[in-house]
Homo-oligomer: A and B are copies of this chain.
């Protein structure tokens, strides 16, 4: 007796979910492991693989690889190709010139829009860490659904834990939640990029603020509609991009991209768009802003030291060591970042690791040292 074949019907409509991974970020904060041509997303510093691989792996239950699009410059796209040999070449968008995230996301969304205007785009930085992946996926699924149903753009807002001055804040209307399944979404009231510490304190006290995670959800159609209604400069680029993509003319695409406003997606669109919703990103998010962030991520020994590579510590506490394949010995030191690579060694106070950037800028101005950046 043969089993009867079952035909299953989805209870809710199957969404065409696409991911756009912003893989083009540059950064010098993880020097000397990270270099100008090898920024954070290509480093294996949090998780079992590079951050971009982790980003793609994490969303796989919702977005298969063939529905992933990456945006980066030519050099970084080469790295992407190496890391994801199964990723279709057409899915790797090469930015002709750097124009910040606004044009990059508009172009990627335009390509998806040409394919399916109903497709839901999940836009994600390639270099963020998420500890509670199950929760993240559930929330992301809800955001996809909410975005599709309401025709709204959704931003993941991170519950702030301290009055950070380096992040963008989103104020939202906590008293007017909209729900989708178990998740609540809140209308955005205002954006505030990098506030003063006094203002950040106020935001935290008010309890109606979140950090802008840079993770967004929108349908391609909604993106186009909002750009048309609220962001003329971006929409002008959008139209040119759509034309260029339709014609397959690379020169036109490049010209359009070069003429696009170099603005972040926040400035270019999100701050102007109507009906934007905030989803609470309470899933152990970190943008791993500098070496010391990893002290919260890597397992630590009983003295609070965390190391990649062998560690022998004597009277030493709170240190982070990157020195795989070799022994690092610490004697009587506290709160240090130690990063050893083939051609450069960094020893840095963990509280001052933001200054690594300053150091690297200085190196890049020095003749014989440029090659080390």
Chain A 285-337 interface residues, beta-carbon cutoff 8 Å to B: 310, 312, 314-315, 323, 326-333, 336
Q: Could you say which residues of chain B place their CB within 8 Å of the CB of A330?
A: 346-348
**Segment of A85-93, A114-122, A187-195, A349-357 in the binding face:** A349-357
Q: Indicate if A282 sits at the interface (CB-CB under 8 A).
A: no
Q: How many residues of A contact B (CB 8 A)?
A: 36
Chain-B contact segment, one of A37-45, A234-242, A271-279, A358-366: A358-366
On whether the beta carbons of A338 and B345 are closer than 8 Å, the reply is: yes
CB of A372 within 8 A of chain B?
yes
Residue ID in chain B nearest A341 by CB atoms: B326
User: B362 touching A348 by the CB < 8 A rule?
Assistant: no
Does A333 contact B336, Cβ atoms closer than 8 Å? Answer: yes
| Smallest Cβ-Cβ distance to A32: which chain B residue | B329
Instruction: Give Cα distance in the complex from A68 to B72, angstroms.
Output: 68
Does B356 contact A331, Cβ atoms closer than 8 Å? yes
Q: Could you tell me the distance between the alpha carbons of A338 and B345 in the complex, rounded to whole angstroms? A: 10
Identify the closest chain B residue to A331 (Cβ).
B348
Q: What is the bound-complex CA distance between A333 and B356, given in angstroms? A: 12
B345 touches A329 (CB 8 A): yes
Given contacts A352-B315, A359-B314, A362-B314, contact A343 B327 (CB under 8 A): yes
A369 interfacial contact with B, CB 8 Å:
yes
Q: How far is the CA of A340 from the CA of B342 in the complex (A)?
A: 11
